[in-house]
Amino acid sequence: FNRVDNGRIRWFDLDLPDMIAARRKVFDDQPRVKMIAADALEDAWVGEVKNAVTEKDSQFLFLAEGLFMYLSLDEIRTLLSILKRNFPKSTLIAEQNPKMLVKHQKHHDTVRNTKAVFKSGTDSGEEIAVLVEGVRLVEEHSFHEEMKKHSIIGKVFAVLLPKMNDRWAVFEW
């Protein structure tokens, strides 16, 4: 919020109740920042957002970082359906991981050191866009694009393993 605040935006941190409880130990809600403890795959949180905005708040930007890999494609479809149904004319920026990472997840630190499981991966954001009618992929970029600017290893990975890194994709409806 602090990095993108233009003095007008409203920010909602939506996460599972145990994660919001942990955040509340460090952060408080602010006038334009609200934490919501809920499952993103259930509609219950939608009312909290709608009650906190005004009619002139017609544009919504959703950020899904570190989420899609823990959801199946059916669960991603459910989330996209909730967003599209309740927040027309919106944008979603979502991190995606490659299918190869799902196959080799036992080597990834967030899975190896926890009980987490990667449920899905994609080779293209189009695989997400086709899940819900009216959702379209606007653009997609590999994190390699930035990494290659800073190191030789980044350049090597960008050339030899272009699909072996997470990507961010922009969707609109």
pLDDT in tens, 25-77: 999 999 999 999 999 999 999 999 998 887 777 789 999 998 999 999 999 99
Q: Kindly state the DSSP code that residue 106 receives in the 8-state scheme.
A: G
CA distance 50 to 83: 12
> Is 106 exposed, middle or buried, given 0-12, 13-18 or 19+ CB atoms closer than 10 A?
exposed
Q: Is the pLDDT of residue 156 over 90?
A: no
**What are the backbone angles phi and psi of residue 124, rounded to the nearest 5°?**
-155, 145
Q: Which of 49-58, 102-111, 157-166 has the highest mean pLDDT?
A: 49-58
Mean pLDDT, all residues of the chain: 88
Its sign, for the CA torsion 38, 43, 44, 48, is positive
CA distance 35 to 134: 29
